[in-house]
Amino acid sequence: MGTTKATKVLIIGSGPAGYTAAVYSARAMLNPILVQGLQPGGQLTITTEVENWPGDTHVMGPDLMVRMEEHARAMGAEIISDYVTSLDLSKRPFTARADSGTTYVADAVILATGAQAKWLGLPSEEKFKGFGVSACATCDGFFYRGKEVVVIGGGNTAVEEALFLTNFASKVTVVHRRDSFRAEKIMQDRLFKNPKISVIWDSEVTEVLGTEAPLGVTAVKVRNVKTGAESEVSCAGFFVAIGHAPASELVKDQLPLHNGGYVVVEPGTTRTAIPGVFAAGDLTDHVYRQAVTSAGMGCMAALDAEKFLAGH
């Protein structure tokens, strides 16, 4: 038999949104419980340097997230290593069941489950995942010392991943479906100046090619979207950096979603369609998707929850 834990505020997710919500709701004496999920610290734990967190010219993503966790604990939040497998928002108190067997019962819930890497959806991509296909250069870049790699994507993540991979790889080729990047200009500048990186514009990857025994990537098939011309680019590693999708699986049948899965909130607030349920960070934001905006929304969610609880 699993245990039951009751709380005024249950925070699901341990990225900048979740930890900030924990700091604020702990300081409001709401004794929050925060469930961390499979990625304690969230997306910033899979990057290296963060240069746009106010107050830190340079900070390593994982270090920043350890500091946020320590801050939330110091304020009195209970932080639990667990994963919520189902959530019942049909009646109050809300209930969340978790992997450990624990049931969390809460008067208010702050959803801060963030986002996860998107994949191209190719059968060959699936086949070589973990065997040359990756969505995390900081996790897997080391395996490609002295080898050639390909990165697909044109946003901040793709450019950052490509730059990071130059620390290991002999050559990095970025494939992008248009003829300009959407990444910040400062990042693009660094990329264009790096002699190890070349870019294939207006192109998509149509197949990952490799060996069977041992399973491993040897090349990707690239198609020019304007001319239809096909070519092969040899590589030992293929990094997919085409954006992130909101992690709204827990609530997809209970709350309205928009733009492919983002939880809808009342403009200017973190209130969802269900009173007492709040959403913050990349789970609800399809526009800004930054650490600092997620933290800001975490603060808003805690204040919104406090106001809700005071009225009930």
Three-state SS for the chain is: CCCEEEEEEEEECCCHHHHHHHHHHHHCCCCCEEECCCCCCHHHHHCCEECCECCECCEEHHHHHHHHHHHHHHCCCEEECCCEEEEECCCCCEEEEECCCCEEEEEEEEECCCEEECCCCCHHHHHHECCCEECCHHHHHHHHCCCEEEEECCCHHHHHHHHHHCCCCCEEEEECCCCCCCCCHHHHHHHHHCCCEEEECCEEEEEEEEECCCCEEEEEEEEECCCCCEEEEECCEEEECCCEEECCHHHCCCCCEECCCEECCCCCCCECCCCCEEECHHHCCCCCCCHHHHHHHHHHHHHHHHHHHHCC
Task: Specify whether 140 is catalytic.
Answer: yes
Binding residues among 267-296 for ligand NAP as defined by CB under 6 A = 289-290
Does 16 engage in binding with ligand NAP (CB under 6 A)?
no
Mark 22-61 with x for binding to ligand NAP (rule: CB under 6 A) and - for no binding.
Answer: ------------------------------x---------
**Is residue 47 within the footprint of ligand FAD (CB under 6 A)?**
yes
Does position 43 bind ligand FAD by CB under 6 A? yes
Which of the residues 140, 282, 285, 304 is marked catalytic?
Answer: 140
Residue 183 or 222: the one with the smaller Cβ distance to ligand FAD is 183
Residue 112 makes contact with ligand FAD by CB under 6 A: yes
In the set 127, 244, 254, 303, which binds ligand NAP (CB under 6 A)?
Answer: 244
**289 is a contact residue toward ligand FAD (CB under 6 A):** yes
33 contact choice in ligand NAP, ligand FAD, none (CB below 5 to 8 Å, kind-dependent):
none
**Residue 18 interacts with which of ligand NAP, ligand FAD, none, CB < 5 to 8 Å by class:** ligand FAD
Verify binding: residue 32, ligand FAD, rule CB under 6 A: no
What residues does 216 pair with on adjacent strands?
A: 211
Catalytic, 136? Answer: yes
- The verdict on 186 binding ligand FAD (CB under 6 A) reads no
* Nearest Cα residue to 210 out of 141, 271, 130: 130
Q: Does residue 156 touch ligand NAP according to CB under 6 A?
A: yes
Q: Which is nearer to ligand NAP, 234 or 293 (by Cβ)?
A: 293
299 is catalytic: no
Strands 33-35 and 216-224: unpaired
- Residue choice 4, 27, 29, 52 for contact with ligand FAD (CB under 6 A): 52
* 283/175 Cα distance (integer angstroms): 27
Judged by CB under 6 A, the residue of 69, 160, 304, 306 near ligand NAP is 160
Check: CB of residue 249 under 8 Å from CB of residue 263.
Answer: no
Tell me how far apart the alpha carbons of residues 222 and 278 are, in angstroms, rounded to a whole number.
43
Which residue among 99, 139, 179, 189 is the active-site one? 139
Task: CB nearer to ligand FAD: give 79 or 175.
Answer: 79
Q: State which amino acid sits at residue 49.
A: E
* 251 binds ligand FAD, rule: CB under 6 A: no
- In the complex, the residues that contact ligand NAP under the rule CB under 6 A are 52, 120, 152-158, 160, 177-178, 182, 204, 242-244, 289-290
Active site residues: 136, 139-140
- In the complex, the residues that contact ligand FAD under the rule CB under 6 A are 12-18, 35-40, 42-44, 46-47, 50, 52, 83-84, 112-115, 157, 160, 247, 250, 281-283, 289-292, 294
